[in-house]
Structure 1
């Protein structure tokens, strides 16, 4: 891997981590919805996404996919980032079933 590929991989990894940070910031937001921290993280996500493209949807927490945050961020950048909502629903249903069996 050359230096440019290494840098791109590092940026992609950072983007994935930022999406996780955003999901946690949403959970901790005073109103449970959004905060200034969320705004800050979205701007960082946008900056890095402009450099390397979108983080794959399956690397982002389901909350940010289900509420449209992931889609909105990419739409604001003019970047297509389709999400397989059927796969997400199946995953959630599987989680609910495993929880129910406990």
Structure 2
């Protein structure tokens, strides 16, 4: 009489049968040292997702019918704030420079009541000089994103982005 094995158990057995161990361990049976701390993994994932969301936001703004803001952009901004509440604001260097130089970065975090670092004047000048030929400067990006920042700063959008509006 042969017994069939399925999922590490012989037929007729279940996970509740503790007399047999499965071929592969359960997550709670893996030694703690063998896996990174779940909180560290979640924080790392949230930071990576948050940085990706900024790139998605840049695309959503560029694709907006009015060239400034859209429902898609508002939903992405809301997700950025939700992630920031878990892991803090995304560092400037991980965000598309036009959104930083254009004031969108600070407008989003301000709408979400999340304190974000502000570049000092020396850092602004260095960043402007570095990005001038490729991504633009504050002087070129502020006018480009003025309507975006104005849309973000409406009461309705601020409530939505911060998670107050449903």
Residue by residue over 1:7-53, the C-alpha shift from the partner in whole angstroms, topping out at 9 and shown as x without a partner, is: 10000000000000000001101111111111010001011100100
TM-score, normalised via structure 1 length: 0.84
Aligned to 1:92: 131
Aligned to 1:82: 118
State the Cα RMSD in Å: 1.6
Q: How many residues align?
A: 96
| Structure 1: stretches of 5+ with no match in the other structure | 97-102
TM-score, normalised via structure 2 length: 0.54
1:20 aligns with 2:55: yes
Equivalent residue in structure 2 for 1:63, among 98, 110, 113: 98
Query: Whose helix fraction is larger, Structure 1's or Structure 2's?
Result: 1
Task: Determine if contact 1:74/1:81 at 8 Å carries over to the other structure.
Answer: no
Choose 1 or 2 for highest CA Rg.
Answer: 2
Which of 18-27 and 69-78 deviates more?
69-78
| Structure 2: stretches of 5+ with no match in the other structure | 1-35, 136-166
